[in-house]
């Protein structure tokens, strides 16, 4: 028997298949539209054996997920023969109501849908993936795990905004925090790498990918996260603005006539690395353009680094010290340049980078200098494994 993990994003869906008894990976998969909403590329990579890649014409997001699930369930295509016992879905926003893993039924789907306006790039995709799972694997139990759950213990001084308190009481406006599944995994993995109890560690964890956030973790508990009421706050991201002066929004509405819908689209889809560089929302492409002399691409990278460094410093002060700085996510794990630039400004926190180790590292690795008081860790995040663990626990306890 196996556990299937589904991580549904706005433009791609990741799959992970794990053995139920020991949580060893059986296969991984990727469904990618690559800018073409009518044709999906489905790639399946068994742990043992050759990968298979097919192109399928699909009518919509749900149809693409169904096609991928049908390939997974037809194990003979990739040498698999592992009936799926439970499916775990990574979901973004559970509000204050959902603080842990949940069984997904009709009532829970309605609850999830209520948060769609807070994570418009992710919640609708997650619900479509759930519907596809029900269609393709009818009768298999579904479990949802929420990125906001890791931040259930953030104190009021960190989660409240300085706006009328009734906004929180009546409308639920507060900081929630995101990427919690990744931050939770990195917390555990950092303790393993440092051979220390998680209870005694002060960590700043940077999950840097197409979306990005940092979390301050003290004693295994999240103190705050740079994202807020929605995943739009915090770091500058691929196409999202991150934190900006709210007065800008009032100004462009009043003086330039932008509508709410236009602002929403611009802040989510036309800002960040893409907005400043004019090149791409993909960090790798912006980095390559900067290396070839593209001025605005370099400017976009400079702004990105500045904001990461500034927020890392703020979180370290919130913790009252730093035992380790963690880099994770596609950018954090793969860009040695980014790690070096961020670390140039944080020696005052006791974190000193070893340039040679940083340039040569493969996750999981410690790239701090040997005499650095604080360690600098590069960790390959395993959100899928965290979800598989939770699914097995719930099935065993049910």
Which residues carry out catalysis?
Answer: 147
Of 87, 88, 91, 33, the closest CA to residue 62 belongs to: 33
Q: Which residues pair with 287 in a beta bridge?
A: none
Q: What whole-number distance in Å separates Cα of residue 249 and Cα of residue 105?
A: 38
Alpha-carbon distance 68 to 89, whole Å?
15
Who contacts 1 (Cβ-Cβ below 8 Å, separation ≥6)? Answer: 19, 20, 21, 82, 83, 84, 85
- Of 38, 28, 33, the C-alpha closest to 71 is 28
Single out the residue of 115, 148, 142 nearest to residue 130, CA to CA.
142
* Alpha-carbon span 173 to 154, nearest angstrom: 14
Q: Which has the closest alpha carbon to 117: 231, 246, 18?
A: 231
Contact 101, 152 (CB under 8 A): no
Using an 8 Å Cβ cutoff, are 105 and 169 in contact?
A: no
- Write out the H or E segment, with its range, that includes residue 54: strand 52-57
DSSP class of 392: H
């Amino acid at each position: 028997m196996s556990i299937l993990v589904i991580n549904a994003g706005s433009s791609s869906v990741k799959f992970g298949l794990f053995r139920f008894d020991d949580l060893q990976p059986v296969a991984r998969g990727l469904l990618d539209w690559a800018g073409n909403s009518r044709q999906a590329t489905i790639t399946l990579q068994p742990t043992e054996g050759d990968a298979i890649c097919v192109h399928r014409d699909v009518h919509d997001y749900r149809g693409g997920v169904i096609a991928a699930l049908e390939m997974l369930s037809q194990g003979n295509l990739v040498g698999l023969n592992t009936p799926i016992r439970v499916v775990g879905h990574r979901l973004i926003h559970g509000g204050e109501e959902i603080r842990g893993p949940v069984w997904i039924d009709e009532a829970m789907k309605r609850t999830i849908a209520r948060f769609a306006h807070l994570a418009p790039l992710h919640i609708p995709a997650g619900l479509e993936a759930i519907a596809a799972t029900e269609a393709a694997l009818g009768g298999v139990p579904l479990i949802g795990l929420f990125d906001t759950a890791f931040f259930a213990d953030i104190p009021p001084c960190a989660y409240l905004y300085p706006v009328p308190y009734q906004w929180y009481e009546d409308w639920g406006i507060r900081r929630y925090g995101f990427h919690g599944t990744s931050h939770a995994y990195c917390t555990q993995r950092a303790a393993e790498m440092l051979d220390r109890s998680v209870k005694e560690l002060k960590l700043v964890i940077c999950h840097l990918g197409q979306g990005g956030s940092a979390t301050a973790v003290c004693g295994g508990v999240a103190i705050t996260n740079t994202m807020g009421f929605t995943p739009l706050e915090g770091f500058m991201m691929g196409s999202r603005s991150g934190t900006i002066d709210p007065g800008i929004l009032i100004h462009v509405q009043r003086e330039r006539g932008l509508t709410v819908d236009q602002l929403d689209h611009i802040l989510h889809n036309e800002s960040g690395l893409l907005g400043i560089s004019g090149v791409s929302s993909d960090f790798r492409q912006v980095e390559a353009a900067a290396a070839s002399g593209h001025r605005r691409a370099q400017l976009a990278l400079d702004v990105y680094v500045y904001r990461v460094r500034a927020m890392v410093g703020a979180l370290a002060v919130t913790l009252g010290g730093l035992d380790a700085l963690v880099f994770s996510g596609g950018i954090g794990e793969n860009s040695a340049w980014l790690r070096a630039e961020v670390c140039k400004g944080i020696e005052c926190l006791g974190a000193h980078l070893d340039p040679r180790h940083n340039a040569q590292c493969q996750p999981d690795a410690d790239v701090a200098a040997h005499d650095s008081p604080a360690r600098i860790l590069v960790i390959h995040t395993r959100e899928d494994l965290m979800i598989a663990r939770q699914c097995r626990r719930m099935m065993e306890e049910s």
